[in-house]
Structures are given as C-alpha cells and as structure tokens.
C-alpha cells in the first residue's frame, strides 16, 4: 500500500555509517523535518551528520496528503484563549513564514507545487466559524467565511485561507536531499550525552536534534504523556471531480479533500492508534455513494503525533538537557511545522535569538485537559491483560484488522504480523527488549 508520492518519485540513496564519527550537530531522523534541518544547517555553514534508520522519507513523510498551510483546523481562537493574542499571532506568523519559504524554494524545484485556497468546514456549527474569523481578524489575517463548497454534501459553512499550497513532498525532498551529509540504514540504538550509538559506529556531537516523529528517549521530556498518535487513511480516486482547493472537516473524524493531477485524494476513517475506526472501508463507502463513477487507484495510511494544546514541541528536548533538541507533535500539519522547525532549531543550535521559540517550547505547561485522557489510556494499556505487549513501555497491543498490524493504544508504536517495527517510539522488533 504505497502512496502516490512514492510511486511517482525516486529518492537518492546514501551510504550506511561505518566507524566512529565526530560532528558539531547530529540529526536523528531522515523524514522531512530532519532533511530540512540538515539543509538549514548546511546553508549556515554548520558541520552536521544526519542518521536515518532505514531509507530517507520511508516513514510518515511519504504518507502525508502534502498540504502546506497555516490553517491548522479552527485553531486560532483556541490559541488566543490558551496563550494570549501575542503568542497566537507568532504562531500564525511562523507558519506563514514557512509557507513563504516553500514558495521560494519550489520556484526552482519540479515538485508539482500549486498555490491553492484552503478551507476548514463544519457540518453544523456556524458559531465556531464566526469565532475563528473574529480571532483571525484580531491577528490581522484576512480569512473569509463561505457558505458553499464544491463538496458532495451540504455544509454549514467554511473558513477560507487564501493562497496556501500543495505539492509532491517526495519530489521536493528528492531535490533537497542531494548533497546533504546523510547516512541511511544507520539506526541509533542508544543515546548518551553527546553521543549516539549505532550498530556500526558511534557519532559524537556537541548538539543533537531528535526528528524521529515520536521521540524515542523516555527519561526526559515526558513525551509519552504529552502526546498521543492518531491514524488516518487516504484513497486516491480516478474519475472524481476537480474541487479547486483543499478542504478539511473541523471534526477530527471528518473527511479531507484535495486533488493531485487527475486524482482526488480523499482522507478520513481516522482513529487513535490502537483503537477502532472506519479506515479505508469508511472512505470506500463514501466514495461509492457520492462519487459512483470514481475508481480507487491507490490507498495508504499515515500517523500523526497530537499534542496537549495543538501546538508542536520544537526546541530543547527538556529543561535538563542542554544541547539536545526535538521536533515533534505536528498535529497533522507536518509540512509547515517541519519547515518552521528547521529554521527555529538552526537558530537555537547557533545561539541566535528566535522570537518563535517560546511559542513552541517543549517545556511549556502540560496542564491541559488532554493530559488526563492520555494518562488514562496509558494506565488502561498497562493493566489490560495481553500476550502481545509493546516493548516500548509494556502496554497491551491491539490488532488492527484493516492494516494487519499490532498497534499500541498508549503511545502509537506499531508492528507487523511478523513483529517488525512499523512506527516508533519503540526502537526494536516486537520481541525485543528495549
């Protein structure tokens, strides 16, 4: 079940690490966040190494729907309430700057980049749209309310962000990665102060960036309780209409739509990892009813890290780990978040001031309502009797019949039927002892 991005693109290959190395900055993780960090450091003249456990872009990056936008659901009225007007405005500015950086880079890269309007719609609650539009107006951003969309069902309305974008992320990263100092098939087995241990050598570094989607180091930062993982599914439909924009339901369980070439990418069927959800069957049923002439050509699934307050964790890994940094918790908006992470982490590594750093600080308060539900899920997972248990922290695994995998409802690790690791934070096979 490969995504359209993988099937339509090819990536450069890199050697495996052989022997010990020393560098100023080590980046762990070869997805879009890690690769963009490497590019930003290289442009700044910093000596760095990037280690990837498999092939670059072989994880979540290749399964995105690849929308580049600062419209992250109906989030801005919530951010003003949680953090105040100034930090909400900085969040918007950071993501708009990331969008601008993509537009600049993609002028020179053949990656199917297209400027598109983005819409978040609601099926029944116009008031929440009014709140969002009012919040954006106070932040100085022009967002429009619209009552009609070219979707095959009526909506109560939508908030429109003009001039956002979409692209082919693998084509983009194929160009960006060439010439970077990357080692593939080089899994980090252990992280020590100033040193990463692999099976074929150690890398010593003054500073380390963990860009592994979900952080794998448990003893610092409490990421196992500060976020959870969420799965969602995509069907690429042929003979479906061109909708002219990017559309997503404000409801976490709703549908998303965008076109790529002659295909309509229909997303949804989502659920917390380790729980039950509609998966591809929900999408197939919807397509059969609303687009009866459409034919599914490709299907894939992805996984997202969801934070307590809808803001990513980008910065120092924890208050007690100087020189160790992280980028995680992108809340389904990994394209803009990865780009802003690359510039923010570059500045932190170089000791530069960055006005956005306090907004994304991983050490900000965790006293949010979602904390209790995360803790409850972890407790239930630990107490549930099961022969299949996650080697990460011992939670009971659940069988995912749609994808034929063993999934952890506590922290989102996933394993194939044979026990191979599919998604972290676990770092080894199902039968391994971490």
The answer to whether residue 131 sits within a structural domain is: no
Per-residue tokens: 14? 């890199």
The answer to whether residue 302 sits within a structural domain is: no
- One domain for residues 217 and 320: yes
- In this prediction, residue 354 carries a pLDDT of 97
Quick check: 366 and 222 in contact, CB under 8 A? Answer: yes
Model confidence, pTM: 0.96
Rg from Cα positions in the chain? 21
- Residues lower than pLDDT 70 in the chain: 433
- One domain for residues 413 and 315: no
Overall domain count for the chain: 2
**Composition of the chain by helix, strand, coil, percent to 5:** 30, 30, 45
CA distance 59 to 387: 27
**Of 324, 341, 360, at which residue does a domain stop?**
360
- One domain for residues 41 and 15: yes
- One domain for residues 219 and 315: yes
- In this prediction, residue 375 carries a pLDDT of 83
- One domain for residues 356 and 314: yes
Structure-token match 């969420």, residue found: 230
- One domain for residues 317 and 218: yes
Look at phi and psi of residue 298 and say left if phi exceeds 0, alpha if psi is from -120 to 50, else beta: beta
- In this prediction, residue 9 carries a pLDDT of 81
- In this prediction, residue 367 carries a pLDDT of 86
The answer to whether residue 69 sits within a structural domain is: no
Per-residue tokens: 124? 């029944």
Instruction: State the CATH number of the domain containing residue 175.
Output: 3.50.50.60
CA distance 276 to 278: 7
- One domain for residues 376 and 411: yes
The answer to whether residue 271 sits within a structural domain is: no
- Side-chain half-sphere CA neighbours of 249 within 13 A: 17
- In this prediction, residue 17 carries a pLDDT of 97
Structure-token match 């008031």, residue found: 127
- One domain for residues 376 and 356: no
- One domain for residues 217 and 314: yes
The answer to whether residue 92 sits within a structural domain is: no
Question: Which residue, among 328, 285, 277, has the nearest Cα to 301 in the 3D structure?
Answer: 277
State the pairing for strand pair 21-28/201-210.
Answer: parallel
Structure-token match 């050509």, residue found: 297
Structure-token match 């997503």, residue found: 248
The answer to whether residue 284 sits within a structural domain is: no
The answer to whether residue 183 sits within a structural domain is: yes
Instruction: Write the CB contacts of 412 (distance below 8 Å, at least 6 apart in sequence).
Output: 214, 228, 229, 230, 273, 274, 303, 305, 423, 425
State the pairing for strand pair 324-328/201-210.
Answer: parallel
Q: Would the CA dihedral through 193, 199, 204, 207 be positive or negative?
A: negative
- In this prediction, residue 130 carries a pLDDT of 96
The answer to whether residue 157 sits within a structural domain is: no
Instruction: Write the CB contacts of 263 (distance below 8 Å, at least 6 apart in sequence).
Output: 4, 236, 237, 238, 240, 297, 298
- One domain for residues 345 and 387: no
Instruction: Write the CB contacts of 278 (distance below 8 Å, at least 6 apart in sequence).
Output: 233, 253, 268, 269, 270, 271
**Which range of residues forms the domain containing residue 327?**
4-64+171-225+310-360
């Amino acid at each position: 079940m490969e995504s359209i991005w993988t099937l339509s693109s090819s990536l450069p290959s890199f050697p495996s690490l052989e022997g010990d190395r020393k560098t100023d900055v080590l980046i762990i993780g070869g997805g879009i966040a890690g690769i963009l960090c490497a590019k930003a450091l290289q442009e700044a003249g910093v000596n760095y190494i990037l280690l990837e456990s498999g092939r670059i872009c072989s994880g979540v990056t290749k399964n995105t729907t690849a929308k580049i936008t600062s419209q992250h659901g109906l989030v801005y009225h919530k951010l003003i309430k949680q953090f105040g007007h100034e930090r909400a405005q900085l969040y918007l500015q950071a993501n708009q700057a990331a969008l601008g950086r993509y537009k600049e880079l993609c002028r020179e890269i053949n990656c199917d980049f297209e400027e598109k309007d983005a819409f978040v719609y609601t099926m029944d609650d116009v008031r929440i749209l009014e709140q969002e539009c009012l919040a954006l107006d106070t932040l100085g951003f022009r967002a429009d309310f619209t009552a009609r969309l070219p979707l095959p069902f009526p909506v109560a309305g939508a908030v429109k962000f003009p001039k956002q974008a979409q692209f082919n992320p693998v084509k983009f990263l194929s160009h960006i990665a060439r010439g970077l100092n990357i080692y593939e098939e080089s899994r980090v087995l252990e992280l020590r102060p100033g040193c990463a241990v692999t099976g074929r050598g150690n890398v010593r570094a003054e500073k380390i960036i963990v860009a592994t989607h979900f952080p794998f180091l448990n003893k610092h930062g409490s990421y196992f309780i500060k976020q959870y993982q969420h799965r969602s599914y995509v069907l690429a439909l042929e003979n479906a209409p061109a909708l002219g924009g990017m559309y997503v339901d404000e409801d976490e369980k709703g549908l998303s739509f965008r076109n790529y070439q002659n295909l309509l990418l229909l997303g949804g069927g989502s659920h917390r990892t380790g729980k039950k959800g509609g998966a591809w069957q929900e999408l197939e049923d919807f397509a059969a009813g609303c687009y009866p002439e459409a034919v599914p050509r490709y299907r894939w699934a992805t996984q997202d890290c969801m934070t307590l307050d809808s803001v990513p964790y980008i910065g120092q890994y924890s208050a007690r780990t100087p020189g160790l940094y992280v980028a995680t918790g992108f809340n389904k908006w990994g394209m803009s978040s990865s780009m802003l992470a690359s510039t923010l982490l570059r500045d932190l590594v170089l000791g530069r001031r960055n006005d956005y750093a306090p907004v994304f600080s991983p050490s900000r308060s965790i006293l949010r309502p979602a904390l209790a539900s995360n803790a409850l899920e972890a407790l239930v997972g630990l107490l549930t009797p099961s022969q299949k248990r996650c080697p990460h922290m011992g939670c009971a695994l659940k069988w995912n019949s749609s994808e034929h995998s063993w999934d952890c409802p506590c922290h989102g690790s996933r394993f194939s039927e044979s026990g191979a690791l599919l998604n972290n934070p676990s770092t080894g096979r199902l039968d391994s002892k971490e």
